[in-house]
Amino acid sequence: MFLLSKDFVFDAAHRLEKYKGKCENLHGHTYRLRVTLIGLPDEEGMVMDFVELKRLVNEQVISLLDHNYLNQIIPQPTAENIARWVWNKLEPLVRNERRRLYEVTVWETVDSFVTYRGSNDERCAESEG
């Protein structure tokens, strides 16, 4: 199996309405997004063409989030909720018999990020608690 990743950057504003602290005020970030697929190469030797992955992510995610107010798109747009939203947009579009979405990572700052690997992880976390 191979892991294939591509990084993206977008700027957006948000406010965390259910949070008590300075992040409940309107503010912005330069977000970094990493989309990672897992799979086997095709007859051309690729899990997925980087050009195709870039086109797909730009059309389905970046074009909607970049220079936008995230609260109008994603309820309570924490890094966690942004990662889940991106996963839900991309997962059915990249999955085929050879590959699937492996994880989505969202950096809110240079050193603060969250990684999401789909709803199976949520069930695992609930059973551990």
Among this protein's residues, is 59 annotated catalytic?
A: no
Count of alpha carbons within 13 angstroms of residue 60, beta-carbon side = 17
23 annotated active-site: yes
Report the alpha-carbon distance of residue 120 to residue 46 in Å, rounded: 26
Distance of CA 27 to the CA centre of its chain: 20
Catalytic residue among 14, 29, 103, 108: 108
67 as an active site residue: the answer is yes
Catalytic, out of 43, 67, 126, 128: 67
End-to-end CA gap in the chain: 31
| Residue-wise burial string across 40-62, b where 16 or more C-beta atoms lie within 10 A, e elsewhere | eeeeeebbbeeeebeebbeeebb
Residue 10's DSSP bridge partners are 31
Active site residues: 23, 67, 108
